[in-house]
A and B are shown apart, each in its own frame.
Chain A
C-alpha cells in the first residue's frame, strides 16, 4: 500500500510565521488601498453617498428613507446646484465638514485617532491568526509527544461524570 506523505508545503523553509505575517500585512494594505467596488452613480451620488443625513435617521444622505426629509432634501438640492456650478465633490464635502463637523461624513477619515477603527479589525485578525497558528502547532506537538504515553485519569475527573462517560464510550467504540 502506498504510504501517504504528511503535508509539507515549501513555505516551511522560510518560516511559516513570517509568511503568515507578510500575508496579513499584504491583505491589510490591499484592503486599505482598495476602494469599494465601483458603483455607477449620478453626480449627486458622488457627494451624497459620502455624507450622512443629519435628520436623525442615521442613513447615508443618498438613501435617507424619509420622503419629505427636512435636512436631506434641501441638502441634495444644494449639492446638485453646487455640482452644476462646477464645484468638485471633494470641495463640496469639505464645505459640509467645515459647516457640520466630521460627523457629517458617512465614514471616519483615515487620519489620526480615526485610524484605530480602520486598522483594528485587520490587526485583530492578524494577531488572532498568529495565535491560532501558535496554538494549533503547540497542540499538534503535544499530541505527537503524548501518543506513546499511557492515559492517566486525573483525580479530578471523578467530579466530572461526563468526562468518565465520554472516555468509557471511546473505549467501547474500539470493540465495535
Chain B
C-alpha cells in the first residue's frame, strides 16, 4: 500500500506539472485540445490524489505500522475516529490533506466554469496546478513530508506511538479539516483573480463567478477558528480559549482579510469601484492562508499548536516569495486597466461605512501581523529579544474590535448611495434608545468597567439595528402579501439570502462578543490543595471533594476526582476532572470537566493528585456567559449557510450575463 500511495504521489507531481504547462500552451498556440487536456488533468489530479489519500487512510485504519506516519500517530488502542483524524495529525498527512482538498476543489471549479469562463479557466487551472505542484513536490522531495515513508522490515514496531493526547478530542477531528477547507477554498477566488489580471478581464465577473467559493471558504475558516477555540478551552485546561498564540493568529489573519474582502466586493458589484483594493485583499488573504500553513508546519515559531518542526520553512518562504512577486507584478502591470471612475453619491452613505469596515478589519490584521513579527524586528533593530503576548493583543485589539462592532451597528442604518438627516435620525432612534436602556440596566445590575459596559451596550445597539432591519422587511411583507409574521420573516430571509444571511452572521458576532466580554472581564479563578471531604470556594460556588478513583490501562494511568458542586447550599451537580499519564509518550495530561449553564461555566481542572494520601491540587474557574461564545459561533455558521444557499434568481441573472457575454465574444 505504501508503494501504491507513493506512486500516486509521483503521479500527482507529474499531472500537476503537466497541468501548469498544458493550458498555457493551449492559449499560446490557440490549440483548444491542450486546454481541454488541462481540464482533464484537473479531474485526473483529483482522482489520483484521492487514491493516495485512500492508501494512507487504509494503512491508518488497518494499523499498518510498516508506514512511519502510521506508527508515529496511531496505536492499537486508539479509537477509530481518532485513527481517521491521525490523517492530519502530522506534517506529511496535513500536506496530503491540502492537496486532496485542492484537487477536489479544482475539479469542481473547472467543471462549473469550463464553458462559461472559457478565457479564464486555462489560467485558473495553471495557477491551481502550481499550488498542487508545490505541495506534492514537498511530499516527494523531503523525507519528513512524505506520508508513505516505510520502516525497514526488521524494525516494524508491534504497536505505534499513538496520538498526542492533546489531539484526542472531537474538536481536533473537526478543526484542522474545516480550517484547511477554508484555507484551500480561498485558492479558488485567488486563482480567478490572477486569471482576470492575466486576461485583462477585470470587470466583476471573476468576483461573481467565485462569490460562493469565497463564502464557502470564509464559512469553513469561521468554523475552524471557533472549533479551535472550543478545543483549546476544553483541552488545554487553563480556563481560556484564545491565547493569541502565533498559530491561532495565523488562522485568524486570513479570516480578517477574507471578511474585509467579502464586504468590499459588494462595492465593486454595486458601484464598480475598489477593483485594485479587492485584488490586494484576495492576494493578501491567499498569502495569509499559506502563511498560516507555514507557521503551523514549519515549526519556525514555537507554540503549543506547532505539531512539528522541520525543514519545510525554507520551501514555504520561497513559495510565498514567488507568489507575492508574481501576483504583485501582475497587479502593478494592470493598474491602468483597474482604474475605475470612483464616485460616491454622498460622503455619508453605506459605501463609506464599508470603507471604514475594511479599514478596521485590515487594521486588525495589520496589528496581529505586527504582533507576530515584532519580536523579529525588535531583535534586528535593538538586539533585544521581546515577547508580544496576550496583554499586548488584549490592550490593542479590544478597542479596535469595539470600533468595528460600532460600525457593524451603524452600517445597516445608513442608506446606500446617500443618507439624509431625516432617514438617519429615523433609523438611529430605536437602536440608540435600546443601547441607552441596556446601558442603564447594566449599570443598575452592577456592571462596571469601561470596556464591559461599552461592549454590552454596543452589542445591544447592533442587535437592535438587525432587529429593525428584519422587523421592517417582515412588516412590509406581512402587509403587502398578507402573510403571517413568521412566514413573512422566513420569506423575507429566503428572498434575499445574501443580505439577511449576513445580518444573521452579525447577530452571531454579537453573541460571540457577549461571551468573550463576560468570560474575560468577570472570570474568577481559584486553586487549592484538597483532601477527601474538604471544600473550596470559587466565585460563590462551593466544590466539595467527594471521592477519588485511579486505574491503569495499557497506555495510560488515570486519576479522577469527583466533586460536588453547590451554590447557596443547593446541589447543582458533580464534576469529575481527570489527570492522565501516558506511558508511551512519558507525558501527563489533564482532562477538565465543566458544569455548564447559559449564564456561566464552572470549569475544573485536576492539576496533581497523590494515590497515597488522596490529596488533589485543583484549579477552578467561573467563566460567565461563555456559552454565548459557542452559541454565537453556531449562529454565525447558520447565517453563513443561509448566505451561501443557492439563489435561483441570482443564478439566472448570472447565467443571463454569461450568455450575453458569450454572444458579445461571438460578435
Using CB atoms and an 8 Å cutoff, list the residues of chain A in contact with chain B.
Answer: 4-8, 27, 30-31, 34-42, 45, 49-50, 52, 56-60, 62-65, 67-68, 101-108, 112-114, 116-118, 120-122, 124-125, 128-129, 132, 135-140, 142-143, 146, 156, 159-166, 168-169
Contacts and interface: CB of A to CB of B under 8 A. Distances in A.
A86 B170 CA distance: 45
B638 interface: no
A67 B392 contact: no
A8 B378 contact: no
Contact of A160 (B202, B418, B422): B202
Contacts of B375: 103
Contacts of B363: 121, 124-125, 128
A113 B203 contact: no
Nearest to B247: A58
Contact of A36 (B366, B395, B660): B395
A146 B588 contact: no
A60 B389 contact: yes
Interface residues of B, number: 92
Contacts of B387: 52, 58, 102-108
Contacts of B420: 4-7
B579 interface: yes
Contacts of B246: 58
B156 interface: no
16 contacts: A38-B521, A56-B302, A58-B304, A60-B391, A101-B384, A103-B375, A105-B387, A114-B378, A114-B386, A117-B392, A125-B400, A125-B403, A128-B363, A162-B205, A163-B272, A169-B657
B525 A45 contact: yes
Interface centre among A37, A59, A62, A120 (most CB of B within 10 A): A37
Nearest to B360: A125
B424 interface: yes
B555 interface: no
Contact of A65 (B202, B304, B378, B523): B304
B385 A101 contact: yes
B245 A165 contact: no
A102 B346 contact: no
B356 A129 contact: yes
Nearest first, the 4 closest Cβ-Cβ pairs linking A and B are A162-B203, A63-B238, A107-B391, A106-B389
Nearest to A114: B386
Interface string B439-457: 0000000000111100000
A159 B348 CA distance: 34
Contacts of A138: 342
B47 interface: no
Contacts of A38: 449, 521
B392 A165 contact: no
A101 B383 CA distance: 11
A161 B661 contact: yes
B390 interface: yes
A143 B664 contact: no
B395 A107 contact: yes
B201 interface: yes
Contact of B304 (A59, A112, A159, A166): A59
Interface string B361-389: 01100110011001101100110111111
Contact of A31 (B205, B237, B240, B399): B399
Contacts of B347: 136-137, 140
B384 to A, nearest CB: 6
B567 interface: no
Interface in B171-211: 200-205
A160 B200 contact: yes
Nearest to A164: B664
B355 A42 contact: no
B661 A42 contact: no
Interface in B508-533: 520-521, 523-527
B203 A159 contact: no
A132 B374 contact: no
A161 B201 contact: yes
Given A36-B391, A63-B236, A125-B363, 12 more contacts: A59-B245, A65-B236, A65-B237, A67-B590, A107-B389, A113-B378, A128-B359, A129-B359, A136-B351, A137-B347, A142-B342, A165-B660
Contact of B243 (A6, A59, A135): A59
Interface centre among A120, A135, A161, A164 (most CB of B within 10 A): A161
A167 to B, nearest CB: 9
Nearest to B423: A4
B521 A39 contact: yes
B200 A37 contact: no
A31 to B, nearest CB: 5
Nearest to B306: A58
A163 B381 CA distance: 48
A108 B579 contact: no
Contact of B203 (A31, A45, A62, A161): A161
B345 interface: yes
Nearest to B665: A161
A57 B381 contact: no
A137 B348 CA distance: 9
A175 to B, nearest CB: 15
B396 A121 contact: yes
A57 B304 contact: yes
Contacts of B520: 37, 39
A122 to B, nearest CB: 8
Nearest to B392: A107
Interface string B307-344: 00000000000000000000000000000010001111
A68 B588 contact: yes
B442 to A, nearest CB: 14
B523 A132 contact: no
B391 A50 contact: yes
B421 A7 contact: yes
Contacts of A39: 520-521, 523
Interface centre among A4, A117, A122 (most CB of B within 10 A): A117
A125 B203 contact: no
Nearest to A41: B525
A137 B351 CA distance: 12
Contacts of B359: 125, 128-129, 132
B450 A34 contact: yes
B381 A113 contact: yes
Contact of B337 (A125, A140, A156): A156
Contacts of B434: none
Given A31-B399, A67-B607, A117-B371, A102 B302 contact: no
A48 to B, nearest CB: 11
Interface in B634-649: none
A117 B449 contact: no
Nearest to A106: B389
